[in-house]
Structure formats: structure tokens, C-alpha cells
Structure 1
Amino acid sequence: MRTAKDYRVDSMRIEHSVFREGELSVGLTLPLLEAGNAIANSDEQLSVAKLADALGYRALWIRDVPLNNADYPDPVGHLDPWVFLGALAASTKQIALVSGAIVLTLRHPLHIAKGAVSVSTLSGARFILGLGSGDRPAEYAAFGKDAAERRDLYRRHWETVAAALGPAPRIIPDHAPPDAPDFFLLPREPAPIPLLAVGSGGQSVDWIARNAIGWMTYHREPEAQRARHGLWRAAVERLPSREFRAFGIAMRVDLSDDPHEPAKEIPLGYRSGRHAFAELLQAMRERGTHHVSLNLTSVRPVREVIQEVAAEVLPRFHSR
């Protein structure tokens, strides 16, 4: 039987296995689909997740896309993230599960906190709660929200989630009449669930550095990425405690079957052979990136690609 101490060790391990000072880890964004395929077979996705777990990838990232529309560039029918995360928690053993990201502004924060506790419990404390704000005004309207209030709504909801999942958990109710009882959240995790900012949510880098374990952003061309990382490092250095704060990148990768093909920029990432791809990751590590989540886009079979990366690239970065 697992003890509270076991869970604390797991919680520390999983956070640090994804984000560690001076190192870079690699994860995968689900669903993993071959190019041109927008239909995800759920059984196949769970099978691929098990394979990624066994191959030593450090994280599986799950997106939250509540609604699709003809103008939205992502045609994939994403599963509800909490349902998908629950299935992954039961199907995997070691790999971190990360929401990339729950749309904090379009969900009630207490429901988010309950979902986070549930996934953490089911997975044995392998969950990192990534939170974002969404970026489609029309989707805000569909949920009865004002996109102009995105920044304030994100901050208020973050405060409620952080209070419910923190080291001294407490519930911040929307309304508290005089006769309201004191609520609490069960099950109660022995250690706080890590909160990660995915995108900026309209907040400053200083706010993110103070409130999140790190900042996850999407790939930009190298010069722009260096400038963005410089802003982040400056914000982290302004923290009074000088605590470690992670920096991660979500990157699209089309891995060529020619291992020697040079890297070529594509929207939000690169097409590359494995040798140039490994050099790209090495350069990112040297610039201070701690994690890269791969959004694989290839005509090659998905399993073939993740097996090649695991065999030929990951050993350069996942030494421990």
C-alpha cells in the first residue's frame, strides 16, 4: 500500500523529471496523428502512450479544445482533457501527465481543482496542471464570457485553483452567505499539485515567475525565442528567493526518414533528420530550455518516429 511519503517522493520526482536546471527533457503532445489524419483512434492513442512511457519520454501533454469551428486551424476532435487524462493515468506507469493547457478562463476553477486532484490521485502524483487562457473571442462568447476580461478572469481563477491545491488547501467560494459551511476538497493530496503557465494568459512574466513552477510557450524562430527566454530569465532573477523556474517549448516536428536531412523551418517548428534534430535540441538546452514537447507531424508511422527518437536522440538528453 502506498503511503503519504511515497506520494511526496513521486510528486517531487515527476516535477523534476520534466524540469531540471541545466538539463532538457523531451515529451510528446497527444493525440499523435500521421499527417493529414484528423481522427484520433482512442485505443491507438492509449497504446502509443504506453509505448512512449516504456521508451522513456518524460511527459505526455494533453490539450483542452472545448469547441471546434471552421475557422479554427486545428481540425482534430480532441477528447475532453479530464476524461483523457483519467484513461492515461490508468494506462501508464512512470511518465508525467501534463495538461497543455486547461482553459482556465472557460471552466470553473473549483471544477479544475477537483479534476486535478482526481488525476493526481489516479496517476500516483504524476500530474502537472498546465493552465492557459484560450485565444478565441468567439469561443468566449459561446460560454457566456467576455474575452476582454480574459486577463482578470485568468488571474482570479488561478488564485482559486492555487488556493485549493496549495500546501495549506482552502476553498475560495464565489459567494459566501453568513450561513455557508466551510468547504474542502477531497481526496486530499499529500503534496501540492504543480501549476504551470502555458502561454501568458495576459499576465506579465514577473507574475508568471511568482506564481507558476515555469512557463511553457510555443516555438518561435531562434532570435525571437532568445529574446523571449531573456525576458523570462530576467523575471526569474528578480524573484527574492532565486528559486528555480522552468522554461519549456512546444514544437512541431516533421522527422524525415533521411537521418542526415538538414533542419528546415516549418510553421511552429522544423522538418529535419534525426541528426540535425538532436543538434537543435542541444542548442535549446544550452540556451536554457528545460523541456520540449513534440507535436509530431509526419507521413511516417507514428510508432516508427517515436521509436527512432527514443533510440537515437533521447539518450543524449535523458541520461538520468
Structure 2
Amino acid sequence: MNASENNPASSAIANAVFAQDKLSVGITLPITRDDQSIVDFNEQIALARHADQLGYRALWVRDVPLNSIDYPDPVGHLDPWVLLGALASNTERIALISGAIVLTLRHPLHVAKAAISVDTLSRGRFILGLGSGDRPPEYAAFGRNPDDRRDLYRRHWETLAAAVGVPSRVIPDDTPDGAPEFYLLPRHDVAIPMLAVGSGGQSVDWIARHSLGWMTYHREPQTQRGRYSMWRAAVDRAAPGAFRAFGVAMRLDLADDADEPATDIPLGYRAGRHALVSLLREMRDNGTHHVTLNIAAGRRPARDIIEELAAHVLPEFHR
């Protein structure tokens, strides 16, 4: 068992987002309407600055390499590294999290260079969320075999963990005679925390050994409690006594009526703010440490929604 298995990198920003017996709230960008395909990313940067000032703990950015009429998401996402760089330059305190870089379709040394760059620009506010992708046609487009997903993820994770760790080590794909010893600049004093988003085809024991935590999508409460119990059992086996975070990405349609009860929608809830607070309390008490909200902004301006949540929901959890 190597060092990364015993002690996945943590940092001040990771500890601010994921803490034992507490729950923090973040936002997934971009915030769009269901029928929206063209995004004003200057507006998204302005929303990010506002969320930072209002006290949200994290901004999450997706990695969507390609679009297709067969995919349900019509939004044209920016390259995640470009957007993260812009967010790093336009925010001051909030964590920036990739949710998630498709590790199997990118070279891990390129990912390491980009991660170190964002962490430098943000002054240590970056958490590297990593996934394996769930769209087999994209593998073919990039010349990858989806059947190799599990092994690719593990191998790339190992190379990446060495590169963003302290001390940083470059593990080349090949070392011909006379090859120099490579290193990455700028140097960093604190290892960049790595977070598993989804399973990447790995067992929960593997995730518990290698990652600071496990981020998953919303499920109905009983199922989610079962998954958390499975996660805790894996942590107890793979990293006895260690804290490993559990987080959830949840869609939210915030009702105008603060007293509207929660009702199920795909991957989340429609709810007034009082019911939302109750839901989040229950999630915290059941072992969730962070929730990132995928906000539906069809009926109300996104700015109004994040302001209402900041005024009436965040104080319950960000004390």
C-alpha cells in the first residue's frame, strides 16, 4: 500500500468543504434553464463572484468534451480548465472543484499541469474531482476502448497522484535511453486534493484508500442512506479511523412559496426553502458532508435564487 492509499491529500480548502458531522453547500455551473443551449458565460462569472461573496463553499465545473443530439444536455460547456482559470481570477474565498474531469480521456500529466495551474491562480482553492465518463461513443471518438475504462482510470490516477503530490513526481509513459528526468512547474507546497466523482468503475474500498471522499448523484433518501452505510463500511476496512467525505450533487427547483413541501424531480427536488432546510439537515444527519446544487432557473433569475438560499438556507449550515 503506497502513501497515497494511506493518506489522500487534504488541504485547508478541502477541510472547509468537507468536515466531519457538518454539511456545506455549493453550486454547479452553469446555472441554466432546461431549454437553454447557449450560455452567457460572462453572466456565469458574475454569478460566481456573487456566490463567493454570499458565502457558498464551492463552485463545481463539469467536463463535457463533446455534444450530440443523442445526449440529454444541450448546453455548450466551456473547456473546464479555461473556465476554472477565469473563476480563479474572479473569486477570492470559494473552493473551485472539477466535477468531474474525465480522467480516462485525458493524459494524466496534462491534467496535472492544468490542476497545478488552477491551484496556483486560485491560491490553493482547487479540489481535483475526477470521473471516468459514462458515454461510450465518446471513447470511440477519442480512440479509447470503453472496456478499458476501469484500468485506464486506475493507471491515470496513479500517475496524476504522483504529479500533484508533495514532493511532485513525474511518471513517464516511456523512458528511452538518455531520457531526462522531468518535473512540473510551478512547484507547490501542498498536495492537490483528489476526489472521486462517481465510481470510475472502482470498488468503494479502492476509492476509500485513494480519494479524500466520494461524490455521487442524488438518490431517494432510503437508497442514499444505504450507499452511505456501504461507504462507511468501506472506509472502516480500507482506512480505519480516517475521515473520508461523502457528497451529493442534487438538482433544485426552488419554489417561490417558502412553505411549499418537497416533491421529487429527476435527480433532486422542487421545494420551498423551509422544506429544503429540512432535507439538508436530514442529509447531514445521515452522513452527507457536502451538497452541490444544480439550480433550475427557468421561472426566476438565478441571482434571486442564490440570494434567497444565501439569506435563509446557508446560515443553517455555514456557521
**Could you state the TM-score of these two structures normalised by the residue count of structure 1?**
0.95
**1:237 aligned to 2:236?**
yes
Which aligned pairs between 1:164-183 and structure 2 lie closer than 5 A? Answer: 164-183=163-182
Structure 1: which 4+ aligned runs deviate by more than 4 Å?
none
Does the 8 Å contact 1:59/1:97 carry over to 2?
yes
Give, in whole Å, the separation in 1 of the partners of 2:239 and 2:302.
45
Looking at structure 1, the residues matched to 91 and 162 of structure 2 have their Cα atoms a distance apart, in angstroms, of 29
Residue identity opposite 2:152 in structure 1: L
Structure 1 residue 240, shift from structure 2 partner: 4.4
User: Cα RMSD between the aligned structures?
Assistant: 0.9
Q: Please tell me whether the aligned partners of residues 98 and 127 of structure 2 are also in contact (alpha carbons under 8 angstroms).
A: yes
Cα pair 2:166 2:191 within 8 Å, conserved: yes
2:166–2:188 contact (8 Å) kept in structure 1: no
Q: What is the correspondence of 1:1-320 to structure 2 with a 5 Å cutoff?
A: 12-298=11-297, 299-319=299-319
Query: Could you tell me which amino acid in structure 2 is paired with residue 234 of structure 1?
Result: A
Unaligned runs of 5+ in 1: 1-10
Q: 2:127 is matched by which residue type in structure 1? A: I
Distance 2:238 2:33 in 1: 43
Q: SS of the residue aligned with 1:232? A: helix
Q: Which amino acid aligns with 2:241?
A: R
* Other-structure match for 1:4: none
Q: Per-residue CA shift, 1:280-316, capped at 9, x if unaligned?
A: 0000000010000000013211000000000000000
In structure 2, what is the Cα distance between the partners aligned to 1:12 and 1:246? Answer: 13
Kept after mapping to 2: 8 A contact 1:263/1:276: yes
Deviation at 1:226, TM superposition (A): 1.0
SS at match of 1:130: strand
In 2, distance between residues paired with 1:34 and 1:139? 25
Greater mean alpha carbon deviation, residues 262-271 or residues 33-42: 33-42
| Secondary structure in 2 matching 1:238 | helix
Q: CA shift at 1:224, angstroms?
A: 1.2
C-alpha distance in 1, partners of 2:92/2:127?
Answer: 15
Number of aligned residue pairs: 309
User: What is the alpha-carbon distance in structure 2 between the residues aligned to residue 75 and residue 187 of structure 1?
Assistant: 36
SS across alignment from 1:247? strand
- Are the counterparts in 1 of residues 11 and 191 from structure 2 also a CA contact under 8 Å? no
Worse overlay, 64-73 or 29-38 = 29-38
CA distance in 2, matches of 1:149, 1:266: 34
**1:243 offset after TM fit, Å?**
1.3
**Partner amino acid, structure 2, of 1:180:** A
Letter in 2 for 1:56: G
Q: Is the 8 A contact 1:24 1:285 kept in 2?
A: yes
Which deviates more, 176-185 or 200-209? 176-185
Give deviations 1:97-129, integer Å, cap 9, x for gaps.
Answer: 000000000000000000000000000000000
SS for the counterpart of 1:44 is helix
Q: Say if 1:34 and 1:301, in contact at 8 Å, map to a contact too.
A: no
Distance 2:112 2:14 in 1: 18
Q: What are the superposed Cα offsets for residues 160-183 of structure 1, whole Å, 9 maximum, x if unpaired? A: 000101122111111111211100
Relative to 1, partners in 2 of residues 1:187 and 1:32: Cα closer, same or farther, differing over 3 Å? same
Tell me, in whole angstroms, the C-alpha distance in 1 between the residues paired with 2:58 and 2:38: 22
Task: For structure 2, list consecutive stretches of 5 or more residues without a partner in the other structure.
Answer: 1-9
Partner in structure 2 of residue 5 of structure 1: none
Tell me how far 1:40 sits from its aligned partner: 1.2
Instruction: Sort the Cα spacing of 1:311 and 1:37 in 2 relative to 1 into closer, same or farther, 3 A.
Output: same
Code of the aligned partner of 1:191: V
Write the letter of the residue equivalent to 1:34: R
